[in-house]
Chain A
Amino acid sequence: MSLQYVGLKEINGPLVVLDNVEDAAYDEVVEIRLDNGGTRIGRVVEISGKRVVLQVFEGTKGLSLKNTRTRFLGKPMEMPLSTELLGRVFNGAGRPVDGLGEIFPEKYADINGQPLNPVSRTYPRNYINTGISSIDALATLIRGQKLPIFSGSGLSHNKLAVQIVRQAKIAEDNGQGFAVVFAAMGVKNDVADYFRRSFEESGVLQRVVMFLNLSNDPIIERILTPRCALTAAEYLAFEKNMHILVILTDMTAYAEAVREFSSSKGEIPGRKGYPGYLYSDLASIYERAGIINDAQGSITQIPILTMPNDDITHPVPDLTGYITEGQIVLDRGLEQSGVYPPVSVLPSLSRLMKDGIGEGYTRADHSAVSNQLFASYAKVIDARALASVIGEDELSELDKSYMHFGRMFEKYFVAQRDDDNRRIEETLDLGWNLLSLLPESALERVDEQLLKEKYNPSAAELFE
């Protein structure tokens, strides 16, 4: 039985201070027992001589300076791991909450993980067909990538994430060795339930590990949630050779928890009150994706974040964009005009796409058609801006054809039903047909030979 410390020195928000502690280690886990029988888990966040500051995950409600006994467990926060994780539901701190009892661990691992050596990484190249045209053609998802969805409150990001899970052929042999790790941070109960039901309907529930920290759960536990989820993912991917798709929602709520914790510690705030280390903190989550040389598995991350006030320059989306390998941006205007999925094409990007498309991966003409679609759609936006000033009738013939192309592109290419699973060939051909609505000379990104082969003015009849 190790030493227990009775009572506390100070309580301040989620932080408590203990005095006269011998032998505490930085980042060590503590167990705080209340006199009424409850226990809380905490973590050492600062040591100054014998004074130790602890962060209590489940909150400090009910704690007093006298009614606690604190025990130092002598190890960092760990999570029990085994393949039994699949199909189970845990809380944000990694404890089972589905009433099926504790899991029988094969091993324990530190939830903070360790940085992956860049020379041990395999550069991701295999594309994942999501069946969604705007993603497959223009922001291709690659196995081992981290590709966030930048959304706003009330947009259909959850529906899109579910569609990706359902349609994505993430493992070569469909299903075998494929699993989803789902981490909910500060989301509403209904949203968590929507995901659970959707997993059930698509028959993958037995291959899902869920970590739920709902919006009314303790905020400090939220800081652990993605770390527990990724520890599980790393175990399944790199030790059990599975292809893992990790969905993290909502990263904005996570960042707010970090901010709350930081301000209660009295740290100097950076932009919008977020701590200066938010970039490093987010990176310690997002960088836990990828493929390593000596394992067969992979971790593909799809974090979802709601941009406060739809502002892409808000610190959370901004820093996320600097770490992740691209982003899929959703647009309120499209959503309101009935386009699902409301993918805003121009700011969406996949950084790994260039090496995962083309001959041998998707189709040789992929990069040409996607470049041209981007360039032409950018002209559509210019034409629309002009039309809003001088009226559409006054536009030049070329601008008029851009206006028409823009409408058809959104209607037939971006928009699709949530059960529409398009093959990559279908998507690319659709792209060429749409481009054929424009005069041939406007397609300056495509070399002549390819243009001859693919330009098809008669395709105009397909759209109206």
Chain B
Amino acid sequence: MNTIYSINGPVVKVRDTDDFSMLEMVYAGENRLVGEVISITAEETTIQVYESTTGLKPGESVTGSGMPVSATLGPGILSNIFDGIERPLKKLEEASGAFISVGSEVPHLDMEKKFDVTIKVKTGDMLEGGDIYAVCPETPVIEHRCMVHPDLKGEVIWTAENGSYRVNDTVVKLKKADGTVEELTLCQKWPIKQARPFKKRLPIEKPLITGQRVIDTILPIAKGGTAAVPGGFGTGKTMTQHQLAKWCDADIIVYIGCGERGNEMTQVLEEFSELVDPRTGKALTDRTVLIANTSNMPVAAREASIYTGITLAEYYRDMGYHIAIMADSTSRWAEALREISGRLEEMPAEEGFPAYLPSRISEFYERAGYVESLNGAEGSVSIIGAVSPQGSDFSEPVTQNTKRFVRCFWALDKALAYARHYPAINWNDSYSEYTEDLSDYYTENVDEDFLKYRLEITKILHEENKLMEIVKLIGSDVLPEDQKLIIEIARTVRVGFLQQNAYHKDDTYVPLEKQHLMMGSILNLYENCKKAVAAGVSTAALLETGLFEKVIKIKYDIPNDCLEMFKQLDKEVEEGIKKTIREVT
């Protein structure tokens, strides 16, 4: 029997054994705490324990499970809330009350719940990894498709009747090439640190539509893409993630609360069960799975939570769904790596983070993508990771290393947040590499002028940025009229377009078509004003018309389903400015 030799926080060592393999899941001590083997030498095997080690003693036994730390994949994942190693928190509550005690063993999925299963194969069919053999409605909006484990293939020799089955009931029997029979249930296991295989990656060409103007229009993210949201505390990282989780057009949301506040997870739970998904008319929880490892839960499980989340996402991707992962916050995950690395007395690189930090971050983000799965279905995993830079300093290692591996960078800005300009994404510091990839989509599906408008808008913002340097030194009064106009138009863009009110019923989600029309109205105002300024009208006189305020308030005044009102507004602006020109000249 293998016994514990030393204990230091979550790190436990076993001496003189060769029974364990790397990344194997083990049970440590009398309470059977879940842990994972993280290093093996001839003398000692090192284990990181996913639960509190208080009370653990040297000499207590350590037993291996013979398999890596794995997620159980099957119906019952959606609408659920799990901890970092996929233990359902509601079941844990039933088992140990409001406070999580150590060594609670509960099955990952509800083993008693019955699902309405339709068998999709018949005796004699040859099946390969990824093939769908049964389907069942998991929630009112998502059909769960049970797929053959990627490592399996064989001939169907028996199938159950269509009917209601539990997760662990056998529904199909498969005869493998070596003659052994494999019983397929509704679920399978998959090691969380290993990416699930697919047939091939497909080019990225569809946007993940979020209904947030600054994202969809200025800094778009693609389905299968990656984005990082860095920002100091109070800049609205979590708020941005919540908005995306609520409104983005993915089929399924995996929300990973990694080392964050307990109350935030409670809020997501409450809010999402009340909110209705505009596309399906059903509760948002029907398409959401939450992974919660709050900041006071054991640190090793925090590292696992990220991998558990992405494994669940890949599983649904293989069924042919589009998944968006919100990871809040990846910095806490990096800190967990640092903490464990420190306990292992590894040589630190920057700021105490281990030298393998960049490779871990890249491994994680590379699991995103738009793919054709083994069964030929198209699916995608998009990752949106929050980063919490220490001291709001974007030069710290986690932000810098993340920046190298994502293609969308939404930098949150303290000054904007202080002025309560939300989402506080700074348009000057942020970028998206997807604009090019998505240009065909926007041109074909929204409007052929969309990209032209977008360019005009970003130009105005860029001009303003240059002018503000002068204004900060000498005030705006001394600028020539045409530059004053740019400042005012840029203000209209900022307040009327970029700023978005998450608590307003129309403004919280804005369809692309309206985003396009809003840009059109702002540019229409700009064009007309330019003519007026050229004719000698002062910017101050143009402001007095009240038309700027009118355009700013479009977001509230024109409901999302009355887009024909834009025509009238544009006309009104044109005539209003013409009238002013006449009066002045």
Contacts and interface: CB of A to CB of B under 8 A. Distances in A.
Interface of A: 23-28, 46-50, 76, 110, 112-124, 144, 238, 267-271, 275-277, 279-280, 283-284, 286-288, 290, 292-294, 313-315, 318-319, 321-323, 325-327, 346-347, 349, 351-352, 354-355, 367, 371, 374-375, 378-379, 385-386, 389-390, 394-396, 399, 441, 444-445, 447-448
A123 B270 contact: yes
B42 interface: no
Given A23-B57, A117-B92, A323-B261, A270 B338 contact: yes
A118 B292 contact: yes
Contacts of A121: 262-263, 265-266
Nearest to B346: A268
A315 B390 contact: yes
Given A117-B99, A118-B294, A294-B98, A267 B342 contact: yes
Interface in B249-307: 257, 259, 261-263, 265-267, 269-270, 292, 294-299
A119 B290 CA distance: 11
Contacts of B81: 118-119
A121 to B, nearest CB: 4
Contacts of A76: 54-55
B234 A347 contact: yes
User: Among the interface residues A276, A287, A352, which one has the most CB atoms of the partner chain B within 10 A?
Assistant: A276
A325 B332 CA distance: 17
A79 to B, nearest CB: 15
A283 B89 contact: no
18 contacts: A23-B57, A26-B55, A46-B7, A46-B8, A76-B54, A114-B101, A115-B296, A119-B269, A120-B93, A270-B338, A276-B335, A284-B296, A315-B390, A326-B234, A347-B234, A371-B420, A375-B421, A396-B475
Contact of B261 (A287, A354, A386): A287
A46 B556 CA distance: 60
A267 B352 CA distance: 10
Contacts of B477: 394, 396
B79 interface: no
Contacts of B297: 115
Contacts of B390: 271, 313, 315, 318-319
B291 to A, nearest CB: 11
Interface string B473-487: 111110000000000
Contacts of B234: 321, 326-327, 347, 349, 351
B535 to A, nearest CB: 24
A448 B474 CA distance: 33
Given A268-B348, A394-B475, A396-B475, A123 B266 contact: yes
Nearest to A46: B8
A351 B90 CA distance: 26
B475 A395 contact: yes
Contacts of A271: 351-352, 390-391
B549 interface: yes
Given A114-B100, A444-B495, 20 more contacts: A26-B55, A47-B7, A114-B99, A117-B93, A117-B98, A117-B100, A119-B81, A119-B269, A123-B267, A270-B338, A271-B352, A277-B342, A280-B295, A288-B296, A290-B262, A322-B233, A347-B234, A349-B234, A395-B475, A444-B549
Nearest to B335: A279
Contact of B352 (A269, A292, A351): A269
B393 interface: yes
Contact of A268 (B57, B93, B352): B352
A355 B52 CA distance: 33
A375 B552 CA distance: 16
A441 B495 CA distance: 13
Task: Count chain B CB atoms within 10 A of each CB in A26, A355, A371 and give the residue with the most.
Answer: A26
Contacts of A267: 342
Contacts of A113: 99
Q: Top 5 A-B pairs ranked by shortest CB distance?
A: A283-B295, A313-B391, A378-B419, A321-B233, A120-B98
Interface in B508-567: 546, 549, 552-553, 556
B377 interface: no
Contacts of B473: 389-390
B98 A292 contact: yes
A436 B390 CA distance: 39
Nearest to B90: A119
Contact of B419 (A367, A374, A394): A374
B5 interface: yes
B388 interface: yes
Contacts of B418: 346-347, 374, 378
A447 B553 CA distance: 9
Contact of A26 (B54, B259, B388): B54
Contacts of A355: 267
Interface size class of B (residues with CB under 8 A): 35 or more
B93 to A, nearest CB: 5
Contacts of B415: 378
B98 A276 contact: no
Contact of A287 (B5, B15, B262, B475): B262
B53 interface: yes
B352 A270 contact: yes
Nearest to B101: A114
Contacts of B263: 121, 123-124, 144, 290, 325, 352
A276 B352 contact: yes
Contacts of A118: 81, 89, 257, 262, 265-266, 269, 292, 294
B472 interface: yes
Nearest to A118: B265
A116 B96 CA distance: 11
Interface in B482-507: 495, 503
A304 B101 CA distance: 30
Given A115-B296, A447-B556, A25 B55 contact: yes
B98 A280 contact: no
A24 B59 CA distance: 10
Contacts of A110: 54
A388 B280 CA distance: 55
B2 to A, nearest CB: 14
Contacts of A275: 342
Contacts of A26: 7, 53-57
B6 A47 contact: yes
A25 B56 contact: yes
Nearest to A75: B55
A280 B97 CA distance: 23
A281 B213 CA distance: 39
Given A76-B55, A270-B351, A277 B339 contact: yes
B345 interface: yes
Contacts of A50: 58
Nearest to B55: A25
Contacts of B21: none
Given A275-B342, A280-B295, A49 B58 contact: yes
A451 to B, nearest CB: 11
B426 interface: no
B555 to A, nearest CB: 11
B430 interface: no
Listed residue (A269, A270, A325) with the most chain B CB atoms within 10 angstroms of its CB: A270
A288 B92 CA distance: 19
B392 interface: yes
Most chain A CB neighbours (cut-off 10 Å) among B13, B265, B390? B390
B98 A116 contact: yes
Nearest to B268: A118
A25 B332 CA distance: 29
Contact of B296 (A283, A386, A445): A283
Contacts of A318: 232-233, 390-392
A374 B339 contact: no
A367 B503 contact: yes
Query: Which of B233, B270, B546 counts the most A-chain CB atoms under 10 A from its CB?
Result: B233
B419 A279 contact: no
A48 B11 CA distance: 11
Contacts of A386: 471-472, 475
